[in-house]
Structure 1
Amino acid sequence: MKTITSRDNPLYKQLKLLAGSSQARRKAGRAVLDGVHLCEVYLQQAGEPEICVASESALALPEVASILDRCQSHRVQRILLPDNLYAALSQVEHGVGLMFLVEVPAAPMPARLDGPAVLLDNLQDPGNLGSILRSAAAAGIPRIYCSRNTVFAWSPKVLRAGMGAHFLLQIHENVDLDAILRTAAVPVAATSSHADHRIYDIDLRGPVAWLFGNEGQGVSPELLARATHRLAVPHLGAVESLNVAACAAVCFFEQVRQKTA
């Protein structure tokens, strides 16, 4: 294991740039996984990272030692940092002291939308996106299409909210959703507070592409016009609408209910 003690070390500078800059991560096609859970899921679902970074204090933790041993057996580059240098990289307050640098998977774009999927139009909140990814993975929906203005799916906050769901999904970013919808071979269900039908009123047992919009404006009128179904999630309380991540979870698991009833 290589120990780095200087902030001027070239590799440390590179890691700090990637850890702190979404633009740098996008350009490099890399993601930073911070914490034992994300690292464990990555090892289970995706393989070995490019670099494994640990803090000195984390070496005493059995779960960290186990991950470091696996990385060593697969000849992964391992970096040990003093706690203060590690803290300057990490965005997790009171974290464990372990992170991976990994390559962002390049999922091949299908010729057309012909199976279960989630389409996200201009979603802005990382927590919402991560929660939707987690719910989609739990509901068995394999593909995610993010519009050009949707938050970066591999940002640290999205990764933490997704809790490892990223590695169970095929995520496509910077997608022209209008072009995808024009040739869709499956029904497209969009949520809208002004819809005439409820999610409980249609048959969801077959493949469906779910379309969700921006936290404030919802699905754009142009995309909403291309949806096969415009649906509402009914609620009894005196609130205008659900949070988009909560709405997505309700939709996904109504579909699960219908499929397993």
Structure 2
Amino acid sequence: MLQDAIQSAQNPLYKQLHKLATQRRERLKQSLTLLDGPHLIDAALSADWSLQRLIVTEAGLARPEVKQLLARAGVPVHPLADMLFATLTELPSQTGVLALSAIPDAPAARNDGFVLLLDGVQDPGNVGTLLRTAAAAGVDQVWLSPGCADIWSPRVLRAGMGAHFVLPLIERAPLLELLDAFRGPLAATLLDGAVDLYQADLTGDLALVLGAEGQGVSAEIAARASRRLRIPMAPGIESLNVGAAAAICLYERVRQLGGTARV
């Protein structure tokens, strides 16, 4: 379903795409986002994600992997001039293909299982990495506080490497309110009163919270944590990157479950 090529910055579809690529407000308003590159689009299609349109460059149309994606997607395909396409991507080397995709409605918050809470994690790369690790480690749902990076931004989507399509996500989540209904304990990486991570019980229903870079978990959330965890580190080392800390904690739970990512 090849459409007429877009050559002008005044084209209404191009204007919409540019807003979505650059403005969180527009992504929230329209409940739409852009998926940049064959890998993300392939992951979305493999997860039966609904795509609305594909945007391609002339070079992209000639690439076999892009041709296969166009055939699989079965949606309108809009050729776009290279100069215009370059304004829709942050990548130094153009992938040649973008997808316009709906942002799904947030699921109902779980009151059991294994839930990861992100409390004010602002770096897009860290948020995407956390989502990717959470999906791999069998997290059932992720709650992100209002201070977190936009999970549907191009940078978070790229760092997530397809995690968005398989992991239930609730952004701008009222963490304290949702914790009131959660049946399991809350665990947090904290210093005061903490026990060694490898001595803590991380099985069963569990909410694990990780805090903002530098600031850590907010005082209000920390006060709710009944399991305070300390990751062992060599003398003189004060902290880890939040993505590294998350991977250590999440996979300690996997180890305690006998090497499986699910209870």
Aligned pairs for 1:96-135 (under 5 A) are 96-110=95-109, 113-135=111-133
Do the aligned residues in 2 keep the contact of 1:142 with 1:168 (CA within 8 Å)? no
> 2 CA distance for matches of 1:21 and 1:80?
23
Q: Which stretches of structure 1, 4 residues or longer, exceed 2 Å deviation after superposition? A: 193-196
Do the aligned residues in 2 keep the contact of 1:195 with 1:230 (CA within 8 Å)? yes
* Unaligned stretches of 5+ residues in structure 2: none
Which of residues 252, 258, 261 is equivalent to 1:260? 258
Q: Who is 1:83 aligned against?
A: 82
Do the aligned residues in 2 keep the contact of 1:195 with 1:232 (CA within 8 Å)? no
Q: Are 2:4 and 1:6 equivalent residues in the alignment? A: no
TM-score of the two chains, using structure 2 as the length reference: 0.93
Aligned pairs for 1:152-167 (under 5 A) are 152-167=150-165
The superposition leaves residues 203-261 of structure 1 with CA deviations (integer Å, 9 ceiling, x where unpaired) of 22323211111111101111111112011111115321001111000000111111125
Q: Who is 1:206 aligned against?
A: 204
Q: Who is 1:69 aligned against?
A: 71
- Counterpart AA for 2:118: L
Aligned pairs for 1:51-62 (under 5 A) are 51-62=53-64
* Unaligned stretches of 5+ residues in structure 1: none
Question: RMSD in angstroms over aligned alpha carbons?
Answer: 1.4
Aligned residue pair count: 257
Match of 1:260, SS state, is coil
Q: Who is 1:182 aligned against?
A: 180
Do the aligned residues in 2 keep the contact of 1:148 with 1:173 (CA within 8 Å)? yes
- Counterpart AA for 2:142: I
- Counterpart AA for 1:249: A
> 1 CA distance for matches of 2:191 and 2:69?
47
Match of 1:185, SS state, is coil
Aligned pairs for 1:27-66 (under 5 A) are 27-66=29-68
- Percent identity, aligned pairs only? 43
Q: How much does 1:195 deviate?
A: 4.2
Match of 1:117, SS state, is strand
- 1:226–1:15: structure 2 CA closer, same or farther, 3 Å change rule? same
The superposition leaves residues 169-205 of structure 1 with CA deviations (integer Å, 9 ceiling, x where unpaired) of 1100111111122232012111113342011111223
Do the aligned residues in 2 keep the contact of 1:120 with 1:146 (CA within 8 Å)? yes
Match of 1:113, SS state, is coil
- Between Structure 1 and Structure 2, which shows a larger proportion of helix residues? 1
Match of 1:23, SS state, is helix
